[in-house]
Amino acid sequence: MTTERRDAPPTAEGWYVLHDVRTIDWAAWNEASQRTRDRAIEEGIEFLQSATTVEDDEGDSMVVSMLGHKGDLMLVHMRPTLADLDDLERRFERTALATFTKRDRSFVSVTEASGYSERGREFIEGDLDDDSGLARYMRSRLYPEIPEKEHVCFYPMDKRRDPEYNWYDLPFEERAEHMDAHGEVGREYAGKVTQMITGAIGMDDWEWGVTLYADDMTDVKDLLYEMRFDPSSSKFAEFGPFWIGRRFDPADLDALLAGDPLSTPWDDTSGQPAHDQPPATPEDAAADEGHGHDGSGHPHDDGGDHPHGESDAGGGHPHGDAEHSGDDTDEGDSHPSTGGGRPTTTDSWSEAIAEIDGMNARLGKAGLYEGEDYAGRTYALVFETDRDAAELAEDVEGLASNFDHYDTHVTTAVRASGGHTFLVSLWETDDAAQTASGFLTDLDGVNTGARGWAGAGDADGASEPAGTDGDSDIRSRLADQDIYAGQPHGEDVYALVVYSEADLDRLRPTVEELRGAFEGEDHVKTAVYDDPDSEIAAVVSLWADEDAAQAASDDLEAVPGVVRKAGEGDGFGTMGMFYTVKPDYREEFVETFGTVGEQLATMDGHRETALLVNDDDENDMFIASQWDSREDAMTFFRSDDFRETVQWGREVLADTPRHVFLA
């Protein structure tokens, strides 16, 4: 038994957090007079709306309708000081609504990040540039915004202190390894689950609180189930009870108490929070006035990073922004329902949206292609704007989420392509697209656009940009060989590649700075790949999220000596990623590539193929090829030589290679 005192990781704290779980006295509510209920609802809405509409630097709040027997209502407040939370508690108790509730459970804590990673410690110790990507990410952990996700899961937890498995008795390095490995699981759920870790040592009976947000609760279940098998959970974690519920707009308090359907705070046709926007249509105004206060009954009738433990400041964690609202509304309400169908049509098209032929080509310019982003005959809206793509994407998320309620909606997305920003919305019918166009042109900077049929029914028969048509054939061919073949510009991994003539000594410090700026849950890796047979090297940056990759593309401009970007120029390019070779086979792999390269040099349409090696890991490589045309590349993928090479590769590669096709 060691008597040595273990090192505690440094921590940084942000906002104080109160989880306040309430049970409603339904018997008293049902017996109360209508006047008493009206007053309770009015004061309750006033309190909840004031709590949820504070300035960004003053915190945030949310209201949750709880499921199950552990409570009916959960209020979650984040504020800069404990005094602020104390004020909120006392203000609520002075409302008429509070007399109908009983506190079932509360949890007091503070947002926290701990320094198990070196970069996390640099932030905590003040050694990072305030404008760096990691510093911005860390501040978002300490001062989080509540994401627009419908479901909430909260539970407290401890780190185990058993004689056999004592977390606090492990050496610092071993704990850091556990945290890093645990975070790897969380990163697989990026875009599905968002988490908030709060520390409660000295504040509550449990050591940490974990709050998870998701549109689909099965994503939370899958995440926690998978994490149960990680040693940091199976050996070193103890979990308290779980509370789950659905977020709702404070203005719907009367609906909650009446047992009526609820809307989320962002569930309106403009894609913005409902209480911040005027009604968009007369039907909306009528719906706003239509909530009655005479109902009764239980509203639940049928009618680091990671969630487990200390929040590692430098690690990955479940996070994402895929928004969705799944609340049903009355038929007369303009909010979409989960029943599908199409939006009600408007009378006419705006003159600012011109009908064109050749929509396939217009979509290709925006980076969307048939067979990859849509299938068959589709009615398309394409708007080109001067707005920043990342900012526009944030504005569009809520609107696209509402569109998803209609079974005629294909996709609505923001794309940055060729230095331009495009907003694209695809529908199965032209009248549904016509209705959607009114909401889209309400967005700032979205004024003029084009519309028309795309896909198999595109009348002009125009060919799509080089490197797009027929990529599905290539993916199918590779799939036959058990090789993952992603969509152009990425699928589960999004790749940014620039080629530079600068020497490695100049590239290394730049890439190191980029890694620091990029560090976060969406960043897979950024590395220098050297071509030993050329004076050109490549800087490759891989991302789990397309929007994050687009946002990072500007940062790659800092790479010195850039001569071109992947995908530029004529011809057809393929890029094989994740060729991780087993160390014992590295020399054999390089020799075999040389043999294959000699064969490629004799093939019609082949321009060049290079094997580039990760400057930090000689066993990590990627293969870049350039061809005159797609069909030339297909000829190689169909060949016996390629098939035999793939069979051999299964023995020497440590992972399945992924291919990215570039126009």
User: Measured between alpha carbons, how far is 62 from 48 in angstroms, rounded to an integer?
Assistant: 8
**Which tokens hold the place of 123?**
């932030």
Contact assessment for residue 350 and residue 444, using Cβ atoms and an 8 Å cutoff: no
C-alpha count within 13 angstroms, C-beta hemisphere, residue 114: 21
- DSSP, collapsed to helix, strand or coil, labels residue 600 as helix
Beta-strand pair 606-614/620-627 = antiparallel
| The amino acid at 515 | R
Q: For residues 71 and 66, what is the distance between their CA atoms, to the nearest angstrom?
A: 6
**CA-to-CA dists, residue 172 to 113, 178, 179, 473, 657, angstroms:** 16, 10, 11, 51, 35
- Output the six-digit token pair for 643: 């098939």
Contact by Cβ (8 Å): 426, 410 = yes
| 155 is an active site residue | yes
DSSP state at residue 276: G
Query: What are all long-range contacts of 390-395, with beta carbons under 8 Å and residues at least 24 apart?
Result: 390/547, 390/550, 390/551, 392/421, 392/423, 392/443, 392/445, 392/446, 393/547, 395/271, 395/443, 395/444
Which one from 116, 137, 155, 369 is the annotated catalytic residue? Answer: 155
Q: Which amino acid is at 483?
A: I
Q: What is the CA radius of gyration of the chain?
A: 28
Q: Round to whole Å and give the CA distance between 476 and 582.
A: 27
Whole-angstrom distance, CA of residue 573 vs CA of residue 660? 9
User: Any residues with CB less than 8 A from the CB of 160 and at least 6 apart, and which?
Assistant: 166, 167, 235, 236, 237, 238
498, β-bridge pairs = 539, 565
Asked whether the bond before 129 is cis by omega within 30 degrees of 0, the reply is no
- The SS3 of residue 192 is coil
Q: Is 22 exposed, middle or buried (0-12, 13-18, 19+ CB in 10 A)?
A: buried
Q: What share of the chain is helix, strand, coil (3-state, %, to 5)?
A: 35, 25, 40
Give the distance between the most distant pair of CA atoms in the chain.
90
What is d(CA 367, CA 490) in angstroms, rounded to the nearest whole number? 12
Residue pair 623/552 in contact (Cβ under 8 Å)? The answer is no
Sign of dihedral through CA atoms 237, 242, 247, 251? Answer: negative
d(CA 541, CA 526): 4
C-alpha span between 493 and 497 (Å, rounded):
13
What does the angle CA 433 – CA 324 – CA 436 come to, to the nearest 5 degrees?
15
| Residue positions annotated with a catalytic role | 155
